[in-house]
């Protein structure tokens, strides 16, 4: 079974908490986490709803393998209509919160309405209560977590909360759990803020015991762990270097977006790479990196724990930042660094700490700073307008803008609206490096043709985690494809997108798929869950989830015309390196992609497709 079969429904308008049975018919079709929460969301809200209104709902969902001994089985997803994008948002987080929610006996929490005053949700097994959070409003994620642990006299409490960015409805505000693990993208933190919900604090002592076939599950989980340990990426590369292992690799391919995608190679990449994090600093003789740490149940342990340089200008008078903390991961290092031309590792870590502390997505924040710096470079934005000089490469500007955005001060309020709204406001919408309003992550869609298509078609706006074509185009997993080539990419992307939707619905981490195939994942799901979870059934479920999300987005108002990339990626060739001369040729791939998906030439699922998938 693996599900607890219970949903906690919170109505903030009424101040009520109630328990209801999980819809097991839906669980059989959507498994859990991303898929099942999306099914609940699309069934319960109007796709046209204002994401920051009380009519939007926000769902925190675990998967059936969350809280089990399956490696990486600690994930949860936050599903809502995203304020940054206006489409479905599904942000996935690790850490320890998801497993704790499961141990308390809940598969998911559905939050609706809006509280008249700030509150937090406290859960201790069956007991769920809304408590006043007036004193917590205005405080950071870090101090909220510390306060709640003290207040409830429970050091083992797991907390998921928003900082000031979420309260201020920064459109890329994140929800942060366990201090530095985040449901980061699409502005899910702003939705929480709009509902006056500061935090969810949970303690569970029930455990997960209802595994369908426990013996088979332990065998499958153990076999899976062995595969992860013996794989070069998950057994060595990620534990040693973290996701930052990518920085030099992607840069050398000419695929590292630099200075708001003006360039594809960053001359400072080496200085902000995994290798640099391992080197001893000249100032204090210590390496930036302290240790690698794992999320719940994870035998990969890619997480970086670092210690900032106490003598760096950003923190020299702020000892509260001197301790070890999370970062830098590749996406943050890229967005805060390369995207702005900043090569100061310590400055990146400071901005990253602020993103964790006050709950902001470092990808969208950093990429928006890139747009600000380009507008400044072009003379469209002035020092007077911003309040400081912001040339490309300025570490000081990066740090100051992070503080201003997190706290909602001055120009930070405009920056906090994301690059799409910011560039439109200053008359240069084409300079916003976004798809469906969401900023690109750390791979150039021109240099990797498959990633270009993945960005254009992602159901949550530009995203690397919906179909990670980098895996094939860079690493050769499961097979090496030429990043310059468009042929065959639509078919591969569809397969990646559907399989990823399965992983995202199970409670497992998508990073396992550097080593695991469905042959490793399927036996773990089948042993844990009753029902037919054959590979065919799972992959069809992945396709069902993809189409469910697509249908919601179409009803929300997007069309096939939104499946595109900014003009810079379509028309301005890469200037240097291995990708020199390339542009994103999505026009060559999109018709085939729609056709493979069983969609009309306008990108709408046909009646036959919907019927085949049981939608």
Partner 1 sequence: MQKSLHIDPGKCTGCLQCEMACSYEHTGAFNPSRSLIKVFDFHHEGRKVPYTCTQCAEAWCLNACPVEAIKIDAATGAKVVLDAVCVGCKVCTIACPFGTVNYSHETGKVQKCDLCGGDPACAEACPTDAITYIDSDWTGLERMRKWAQKTDSAARV
Residues that bind partner 1 (CB under 8 A): 67-69, 71, 96, 99, 103, 156, 179, 204-209, 214, 218, 225, 229, 239, 290-299, 301, 305-307, 323-325
Please report where in the chains the tokens 């399956």 appear, as a residue: 70
CB of 355 to partner 1, least distance (A): 17
CB of 195 to partner 1, least distance (A): 29
Say which residues have a Cβ less than 8 Å from residue 458's Cβ, sequence separation at least 6. 435, 436, 466, 467
- Determine the Cα–Cα distance for residues 122 and 152; give it in Å rounded to an integer: 9
CB of 263 to partner 1, least distance (A): 34
**Conformational region of residue 448, where left means phi above 0, alpha means psi within -120 to 50, and beta covers everything else:** beta
Nearer to partner 1, 312 or 489 (CB): 312
CB of 189 to partner 1, least distance (A): 22
CB of 236 to partner 1, least distance (A): 12
- Determine the Cα–Cα distance for residues 238 and 234; give it in Å rounded to an integer: 5
Nearer to partner 1, 187 or 327 (CB): 327
Do 29 and 496 contact (CB within 8 A), yes or no? Answer: no
Nearer to partner 1, 251 or 299 (CB): 299
CB of 534 to partner 1, least distance (A): 25
Say which residues have a Cβ less than 8 Å from residue 318's Cβ, sequence separation at least 6. none
Q: Write the CA distances from 176 to 137, 163, 297, integer angstroms.
A: 15, 8, 19
Per the DSSP assignment, residues forming a β-bridge with 81 are 88
CB of 128 to partner 1, least distance (A): 18
CB of 222 to partner 1, least distance (A): 9
DSSP calls for 491-526:
HHHHHHHHHHHHHTTTT--GGGGGT--HHHHHHHHH
Nearer to partner 1, 297 or 362 (CB): 297
Nearer to partner 1, 242 or 467 (CB): 242
Please report where in the chains the tokens 């996701």 appear, as a residue: 243
Please report where in the chains the tokens 């101090």 appear, as a residue: 143
CB of 178 to partner 1, least distance (A): 9
Say which residues have a Cβ less than 8 Å from residue 390's Cβ, sequence separation at least 6. 369, 372, 373, 376, 381, 383, 397, 401
Q: What is the DSSP letter of 223?
A: H
Cβ burial 32-57 (10 Å sphere, 16+ → b, else e): bbbbbbbbbbbeebebeeebbebebb
Token pair of 580 as six digits: 């020199």
- Determine the Cα–Cα distance for residues 345 and 284; give it in Å rounded to an integer: 15
Is omega for the bond preceding 478 within 30 degrees of 0, making it cis?
yes
- Determine the Cα–Cα distance for residues 234 and 301; give it in Å rounded to an integer: 9
Nearer to partner 1, 29 or 299 (CB): 299
Nearer to partner 1, 143 or 293 (CB): 293
- Which helix (H) or strand (E) segment is 69 a member of? none
CB of 529 to partner 1, least distance (A): 15
Nearer to partner 1, 216 or 218 (CB): 218
Nearer to partner 1, 218 or 615 (CB): 218
CB of 207 to partner 1, least distance (A): 2
């Amino acid at each position: 079974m693996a599900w607890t079969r219970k949903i906690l429904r919170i109505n903030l308008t009424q101040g009520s908490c109630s328990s209801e049975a999980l819809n097991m018919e839906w669980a059989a079709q959507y498994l859990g986490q991303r898929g099942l929460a999306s099914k609940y969301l699309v069934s319960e809200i109007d796709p046209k709803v204002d994401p920051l209104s009380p009519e939007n709902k926000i769902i925190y969902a675990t998967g059936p393998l969350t809280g089990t001994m399956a490696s990486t089985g600690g994930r949860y997803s936050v599903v809502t209509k995203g304020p940054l994008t206006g489409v479905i948002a599904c942000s996935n987080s690790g850490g320890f919160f998801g497993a704790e929610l499961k141990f308390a006996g809940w598969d998911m929490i559905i939050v609706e309405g809006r509280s008249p005053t700030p509150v937090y949700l406290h859960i201790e097994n069956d007991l769920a209560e809304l408590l006043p959070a007036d004193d917590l409003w205005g405080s950071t994620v870090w101090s909220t977590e510390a306060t709640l642990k003290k207040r409830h006299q429970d050091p083992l409490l797991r907390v998921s909360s928003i900082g000031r960015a979420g309260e201020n409805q920064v459109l890329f505000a994140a929800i942060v759990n366990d201090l530095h693990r985040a449901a980061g993208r699409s502005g899910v933190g702003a939705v929480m803020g709009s509902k006056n919900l500061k935090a969810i604090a949970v303690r569970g002592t029930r455990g997960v015991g209802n595994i369908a076939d426990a013996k088979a599950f332990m065998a499958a989980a153990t076999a899976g762990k062995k595969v992860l340990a013996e794989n070069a990426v998950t057994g060595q590369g990620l534990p040693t270097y973290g996701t930052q292992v990518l920085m030099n690799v992607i840069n050398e391919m000419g695929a590292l977006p630099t200075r708001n995608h003006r360039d594809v190679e960053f001359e400072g990449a080496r200085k902000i790479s995994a290798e640099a994090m391992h080197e001893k600093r000249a100032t204090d003789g210590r390496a930036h990196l302290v240790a690698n740490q794992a999320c719940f149940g994870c035998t990969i342990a890619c997480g970086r724990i670092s210690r900032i340089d106490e003598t760096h200008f950003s923190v020299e008078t702020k000892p509260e930042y001197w301790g070890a903390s999370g970062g830098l991961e590749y996406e943050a290092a890229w967005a805060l660094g390369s995207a702005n031309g900043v090569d100061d590792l310590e400055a990146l870590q400071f901005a990253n700490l602020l993103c964790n502390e006050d709950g902001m997505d470092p990808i969208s924040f950093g990429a928006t700073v890139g747009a600000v710096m380009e507008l400044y470079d072009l003379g469209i934005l002035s020092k007077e307008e911003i309040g400081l000089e912001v040339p490309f490469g300025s570490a000081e500007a990066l740090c100051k803008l992070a503080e201003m955005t997190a706290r909602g001060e001055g120009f930070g309020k405009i920056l906090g609206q994301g690059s799409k709204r910011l560039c439109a406001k200053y008359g240069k919408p084409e300079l916003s490096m976004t798809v469906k309003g969401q900023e690109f992550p750390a791979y150039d869609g021109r240099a990797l043709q498959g990633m270009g298509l993945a960005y254009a078609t992602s159901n949550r706006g530009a995203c690397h985690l919906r179909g990670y074509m980098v895996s094939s185009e860079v690493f050769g997993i499961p097979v090496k494809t030429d990043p310059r080539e468009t042929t065959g990419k639509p078919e591969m992307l569809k397969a990646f997108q559907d399989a990823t939707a399965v992983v995202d619905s199970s409670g497992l981490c998508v990073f396992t798929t550097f080593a695991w195939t469905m042959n490793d994942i399927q036996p773990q799901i089948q042993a844990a869950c009753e029902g037919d979870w054959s590979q065919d059934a799972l992959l069809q479920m992945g396709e069902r989830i993809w189409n469910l999300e697509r249908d919601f987005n179409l009803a929300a108002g997007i069309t096939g015309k939104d499946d595109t990339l900014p003009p810079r990626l379509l028309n301005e060739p890469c200037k240097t390196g291995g990708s020199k001369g390339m542009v994103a040729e999505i026009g060559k791939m999109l018709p085939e992609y729609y056709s493979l998906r069983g969609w009309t030439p306008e990108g709408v699922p046909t009646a036959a497709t919907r019927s085949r998938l049981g939608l």
